[in-house]
A and B are shown apart, each in its own frame.
Chain A
Amino acid sequence: MIPLSWYLMLGAGLFVIGMFTFLVRRNIIMMLISLELMLNAVNIMLIATSHYMQDMRGQILAFFVMAGAAAGVAIGLAILIAAFRNRESANMDEFDLLKG
């Protein structure tokens, strides 16, 4: 039997990779991809904990996280299309219209 902490470590590693990418990459598509990585990391942790607690609530929550991820990425990419039409770029540094 694999200990639960191994799964949680794996989730933590994946989450930190996603978070670091979100902070340092400048491409918006790459930032959205790293957002998906973070959500997947949380899903791994939720399902593993649910399995070891012998409780279905974690898996239900992971199910809703997947629905939320699909909705979030759809709206994020729509915003990116609208922004790309104005700036012709997917670089985060270009979008500084609201900067004082």
Chain B
Amino acid sequence: MLPEFFFGYFACAILGLAMLTVTRKNLVHSVLWMLLLFLHIACLYLFLNAEFLAVIQVIVYAGAILVLFLFLVMLLNLREEHEARRFVKAWQGRLAVCILLLTVIVISVYKAAVQPTGGYSITFINEMGHTKVLGTVLFNQYVLPFLMTALVLFVPMVAAIVLAMKERKR
């Protein structure tokens, strides 16, 4: 009973905060609602025995990406955007497409049958510690993708500097 209650609270809060995030006029308010949304999602990860990913969610999303958004909203002075029309005119068709997609996902979720493979059971993860288990898998089986991540993070850094730098006057 208690897990269902908590899950219900977090599910309602996540969907409600997402709605709040995407409908605000002021972008600063929107970004701050998104902070609360990310913290709730991190709590949901704790339900799923993924402590390391919950911490990473707070550090990366709430710590880095959100600050980047907030910095940009304050850097670009978008005050005149508040009065402008915020939505496109022809939204009915897009809403229909989204509802269709939701229907397809819901149907496929009901059809899906997930069988536990038993490789990493909850007791095993609790014994070893989630970070240790994840690190063992990451650095043994997935070490090449992990090294590729360094490149994936390096290239946007260079690209961001090049794009955001002002052109020198010749």
**Least CB distance, B31 to chain A, in whole angstroms:** 7
The answer, among B15, B21, B45, B109, for a CB contact under 8 Å with A47, is B45
| Residues A1-58 near B (CB distance < 8 A) | 1-2, 4-10, 12-21, 23-27, 29-30, 32-34, 36-37, 40, 43-44, 47-57
Q: Which residue on chain B has the smallest CB distance to residue A62?
A: B53
Q: Is A98 an interface residue (CB 8 A)?
A: no
**A29-B69, A52-B116 known; A14 vs B14 contact (CB < 8 Å):** yes
The answer, among A2, A23, A37, for a CB contact under 8 Å with B18, is A37
CB pair A59 B53 closer than 8 Å: yes
**A1-B3, A17-B22 known; A24 vs B78 contact (CB < 8 Å):** no
CB pair B76 A90 closer than 8 Å: yes
The answer, among A26, A32, A53, A60, for a CB contact under 8 Å with B115, is A53
**A2-B3, A29-B72 known; A71 vs B81 contact (CB < 8 Å):** no
Q: Which residue on chain B has the smallest CB distance to residue A6?
A: B7
Kindly state the separation between the CA atoms of A36 and B67 in the bound complex, as whole angstroms.
Answer: 13
CB pair A36 B98 closer than 8 Å: no
Which of chain A's residues have a CB closer than 8 A to the CB of B149?
A: 64, 67
Which of chain A's residues have a CB closer than 8 A to the CB of B114?
A: 4, 49, 52-53
CB pair B81 A13 closer than 8 Å: no
Most chain B CB within 10 A, of A27, A56, A68, is at A56
Instruction: Known pairs A27-B78, A77-B69; list 6 more (Cβ under 8 Å).
Output: A9-B109, A30-B86, A37-B37, A40-B41, A51-B122, A66-B60
Q: Interface of A with B (CB < 8 Å)?
A: 1-2, 4-10, 12-21, 23-27, 29-30, 32-34, 36-37, 40, 43-44, 47-57, 59-60, 62-64, 66-75, 77-82, 84-85, 89-91
6 contacting pairs across A/B (C-beta < 8 A): A16-B105, A25-B87, A26-B85, A63-B53, A64-B149, A80-B76
Closest 4 CB pairs of A and B: A78-B160, A78-B163, A21-B22, A12-B105
